[in-house]
Copies of this chain bind each other. A is one copy, B any other.
Amino acid sequence: MRQALDTIAPRPADRERQVTTVVDVARRAGVSAATVSRVLAGRNVVAAATRERVLEAVRALQFQPNAFAQGLRSGRGQAVALLVSDIEQTVYSALTKHVQAALEEIGLDLLLFNLGHRQDRLRGLLERATALRLRGIVIASNDVIPMRELKPLVSALQRQGVSILSIGQRLDRYGIPSVVHEETAAAARAAQYLLDTGRAPIAYLSRIRNSATGQERYRGYLAALKGAGIDVDPALVWDCSYRYAAGYEAMSRALDRRLAFRSLLAASDELALGAMAAALDRGLKVPDDVAIIGFGGIAWGEHVRPALTTLGADPKAIGEHVRDMFRNLLDGGDVPRQTVVKRPLLLRQSA
Binding site for B on A (CB under 8 A): 3, 6-12, 16-17, 19, 64-69, 71-72, 75, 77, 79, 82, 86-88, 90, 92-94, 96-97, 100-101, 104, 109-114, 116, 127-128, 130-133, 158-161, 163-164, 172, 175-177, 244, 273-274, 277, 280, 299-300, 303-305, 329, 332-338
Asked if A111 and B109 make an inter-chain contact with CB atoms under 8 angstroms apart, the answer reads yes
Asked if A175 and B8 make an inter-chain contact with CB atoms under 8 angstroms apart, the answer reads yes
Further pairs besides A64-B131, A69-B72: 17, Cβ < 8 Å: A3-B334, A8-B176, A17-B75, A17-B159, A65-B131, A66-B133, A68-B68, A68-B133, A86-B97, A87-B93, A92-B93, A97-B116, A100-B112, A274-B303, A277-B303, A300-B300, A304-B304
Q: B3, B94, B132: which contacts A67 (Cβ < 8 A)?
A: B132
User: Could you jot down 27 A-B contacts, CB within 8 Å?
Assistant: A6-B336, A7-B337, A8-B175, A8-B177, A8-B337, A12-B161, A17-B160, A64-B131, A65-B131, A66-B131, A68-B133, A69-B72, A86-B97, A87-B93, A87-B96, A88-B94, A93-B93, A100-B112, A100-B113, A100-B114, A110-B112, A111-B111, A274-B303, A277-B303, A277-B305, A280-B305, A300-B300
Q: B96, B114, B303: which contacts A273 (Cβ < 8 A)?
A: B303
The quantity of this chain's copies bound in the complex is 2
Asked if B97 and A161 make an inter-chain contact with CB atoms under 8 angstroms apart, the answer reads no
CA distance A101 to B118 in the complex (A): 13
Q: B11, B16, B177, B299: which contacts A332 (Cβ < 8 A)?
A: B11
CA distance A8 to B173 in the complex (A): 11
List chain B residues, Cβ under 8 A from A69. 68, 72
Asked if A334 and B8 make an inter-chain contact with CB atoms under 8 angstroms apart, the answer reads yes
List chain B residues, Cβ under 8 A from A3. 334
Q: Main SS of chain A's interface residues?
A: mixed
List chain B residues, Cβ under 8 A from A159. 12, 16-17
Asked if B334 and A7 make an inter-chain contact with CB atoms under 8 angstroms apart, the answer reads yes
A7 CB to nearest chain B CB (Å): 4
CA distance A244 to B274 in the complex (A): 20
List chain B residues, Cβ under 8 A from A131. 64-67
List chain B residues, Cβ under 8 A from A116. 97, 101
A76 CB to nearest chain B CB (Å): 9
Q: Please judge, given known A-B contacts A66-B72, A67-B131, whether A10 and B111 are in contact too, CB under 8 Å.
A: no
Q: B97, B114, B304, B332: which contacts A97 (Cβ < 8 A)?
A: B114
CA distance A334 to B7 in the complex (A): 6
Q: B90, B163, B332, B335: which contacts A88 (Cβ < 8 A)?
A: B90
List chain B residues, Cβ under 8 A from A274. 303
A17 CB to nearest chain B CB (Å): 5
**Residue of B whose beta carbon sits closest to that of A178:** B8
Asked if A132 and B112 make an inter-chain contact with CB atoms under 8 angstroms apart, the answer reads no
CA distance A109 to B83 in the complex (A): 12
A291 CB to nearest chain B CB (Å): 20
A97 CB to nearest chain B CB (Å): 5
CA distance A275 to B54 in the complex (A): 58
Asked if B300 and A158 make an inter-chain contact with CB atoms under 8 angstroms apart, the answer reads no
